[in-house]
Amino acid sequence: MSVKNKTIVWFRQDLRIHDNPALLSAADAGDILPVYILDDINAGDWAMGAASRVWLHESLEKLNESLNGKLLLLCGDAETLIADLVDASNATAVHWNRCYEPWRIQRDQKIKLALTEKGIKVESTNGSLLWEPWSITKKDGSPYKVYSPYFKRGCLGSVDIIRPVVRAPKTINYVRRNKDIQGLTLDELNLQPSIPWDKGILAAWDAGEDGAHNKLTDLVARRLEGYKQGRDFPAMDSTSRLSPHLHFGEISPHQVWS
């Protein structure tokens, strides 16, 4: 009897099921243990603000529903928690989609090195950007510093390197949790404010993957024609309203592009 692969899928700014390369490769390989870690320790001064935490609460709730209630929620130092989770689950691999803030890059490099030294396979993929930051450069190899040349000569001339949208997993099998794999409830992450000033945000926005796709559908059907003229006028209902959805990875730029 063959032993199934066990892979930890570390969700970060990719809170979606569709077009999620890290999730797909792990789910196709065997059982997965999906986890989200609120890592304010390493974030330091770059930790999320209150409004972002309100959004995150809603988005994690939606993602957990999509994962049949199997999303493990943790809070603390990601380096320590990932290592402990590997030991507790006997995972043989850890998958994540890359993040690009300097503090995340530094943390992720340390985690990857520590796991690799233990014989754990680490797979990181680009799930958040159309182009890797280092893939679009000027002819002399230096990075662009002005947006228009970057987009016109760099990006539009590099359409062929955009990866295709990947499917959602056909089936997801989950690692059976033991007594050593214990997470927090969503409320225990303390993402919501003690005084409910967030009611306006919740009334105006629909966080989560479905909400993101509804916004994209609305953009194409109703807003796109007047976007070029109206995008510079906040009073006009002409912008895409996709920014927070893209930030939390509820929809990918590849899905928007396609």
Which region holds residue 186: left if phi is over 0, alpha if psi is between -120 and 50, else beta?
Answer: alpha
| Cross-sheet strand order for the sheet of 93-97 | 72-75, 30-38, 5-11, 93-97, 121-125
For 52-70, what is the mean pLDDT? 98
79 neighbors 10 (Cβ within 8 angstroms): no
- Please give the pLDDT value at position 1: 43
Contact 55, 248 (CB under 8 A): yes
CB-CB contact of 127 with 100 (8 Å):
no
Give the CA angle between residues 198, 200, 202 to the nearest 5°. 70
Q: What is the pLDDT of residues 23-33, one digit of tens each?
A: 999 999 999 99
| Residue 46 host element (H or E) | none
Quote the pLDDT of residue 2.
Answer: 54
Return the C-alpha torsion angle 26, 210, 99, 164, nearest 10: 70
5-126+195-257 under CATH 3.30.365.10, yes or no: no
From its phi and psi, is residue 251 left (phi > 0), alpha (psi between -120 and 50) or beta? Answer: beta
**pLDDT score at 223:** 78
Residue 221 pLDDT exceeds 80: yes
Each residue's pLDDT tens digit, 121-148? 999 999 999 888 888 888 898 988 998 8
| Angstrom distance (rounded) from CA 128 to CA 256 | 12
Q: How far apart are CA 59 and CA 88, in angstroms?
A: 27
Instruction: Give the pLDDT confidence of 173-188 residue by residue, as tens digits.
Output: 999 999 999 999 999 9
pLDDT for 193:
96
Strands (E), the chain: 5-11, 30-38, 72-75, 93-97, 121-125
**Residues 197, 53: Cα–Cα separation, whole Å:** 13
Count CB atoms within 10 A of the CB of residue 13.
17
Domain ranges of the chain: 5-126+195-257
* pLDDT on residue 185: 98
Q: Going by C-beta distance under 8 Å and a sequence separation of 6 or more, which residues neighbour residue 164?
A: 254, 258
What three-state secondary structure class fits 182?
Answer: coil
